[in-house]
Amino acid sequence: MSLDSHWRDRVTLKMLRYFHAVACHGHFSRAAEQLNVSKSPLSAQIKELESVLGLALFERHTRQVSLTATGRLLLDECALLFDVLESGLNKVVQAGRMERNQIRIGLVSSIFWAGFGEVIRQCHRIHPEFEISFTELSPEKQKQALASKEIDLGLARFADTFNIHPLQAESIYREPMVLAVSDEHPLRDRKRVSLTELAGERFVLMSRANSASTDLIINSCLVEGFYPHLSQEVVEPNTLMAVVATSQQVALAPASYGRQKWPHVRFIRLEQQIPADLCVLYVPHSAEQSASPVIRHFIDTMSEQMNLAPDE
């Protein structure tokens, strides 16, 4: 179907929105309620759209309406149009935000134990034009927020970077997992421990719903020939350390946890390497460019400062 310029100029976005609402509800009153308009102007817009197109889009019944064949075709086209419009507006909003150097970051709170707070202070000093905001989100929530454009960057652990297409990930700070035990545990004075020595231990680990690191730890134990005895899973890193401090349970945690003062907790190196890198997650800017220029510059600055941050 082709429209001349006169007809095309008479079809408005409001007409299409109203048509879409009626088509989805199959009822003028319910569509009017959703659109927060009265039934009369809604009906008038639909009639005008049909008049402009010279087509009947609905079959009117006593209590409801149904789509004609051309109405069903227009409904499909409207869905495509609204998707394109939403995507385009999102790009415009994101571009405007990038022009103002606004960066919204989703993160797990434990990254501050790796010196992230000082890194952000240095980033502000080097680039005062950056306007940075934080939202504490689990890795899974970060991925959802990136997909819906609610954040520009995610910060999570190495294990959370698998199977994340179309998102991309980069390591900005490398660190291994270490063993955490109480100061009354038989292994407390060891400098280094092999995973195989932990086959008989009771483990407390982070909830798998919040951290993929738990599955990475389990798989690492399986490689060494045993399935770890999971006595409990916790949601918060603080709780993880509290359980270790007050019991004979053991945990594997990022080495940076040891920078904090945890009463009655000892940290011991592992013979095996289990990565716990801090990684950034982001939506690719284009096929040729991994991240937008502002995000790319911020990632590079952050990575440089993370690796300059002194161990505490």
Q: What's residue 87's pLDDT?
A: 76
3 pLDDT higher than 70: no
Three-state SS letters, 95-151: HHHHHCCEEEEEECHHHHHHCHHHHHHHHHHHCCCCEEEEEECCHHHHHHHHHCCCC
How do residues 100-128 score in pLDDT, each as one tens digit? 578 899 999 888 998 888 888 888 888 88
The single-letter DSSP state of residue 158 is: G
| Measured distance CA(286)–CA(197) in Å, rounded | 47
Percent of the chain at pLDDT > 90 equals: 56
Q: Taking residues 283-312, report their average pLDDT.
A: 73
Report pLDDT for 90: 72
pLDDT digits (tens, 9 = 90+) for 241-297: 999 999 999 999 999 999 999 999 999 999 999 999 999 999 887 555 566 777 888
Q: How confident is the model at residue 309 (pLDDT cuts 50, 70, 90)?
A: low
Asked which of 16-25, 43-52, 83-92, 230-239 is least confident by mean pLDDT, the reply is 83-92
pLDDT, mean over the chain: 88
| Phi, psi values for residue 287, rounded to 5° | -65, -30
Better-scored residue on pLDDT, 219 or 312: 219
CA–CA dist 22, 75 (Å, integer): 10
How much is the pLDDT for 165? 87
Residue 144 CB contacts under 8 Å (≥ 6 apart), including other chains: none
What's residue 11's pLDDT? Answer: 87
The token pair at 75 is 């409904």
Does the CA dihedral 44-46-52-58 come out positive or negative?
Answer: negative
Q: Which residue matches tokens 């005008």?
A: 48
Which domains, ranges and CATH numbers included, belong to the chain?
5-86 (1.10.10.10), 100-174+277-308 (3.40.190.10), 177-270 (3.40.190.290)
Residues paired with residue 134 on neighbouring β-strands, in sequence order: 105
Distance in angstroms (rounded) separating the CA atoms of residues 120 and 305: 8
Owner of token pair 């394109």: 84
Q: What local confidence, expressed as pLDDT, does residue 97 receive?
A: 56
Given a cut of 60, whether residue 1 has pLDDT beyond it is: no
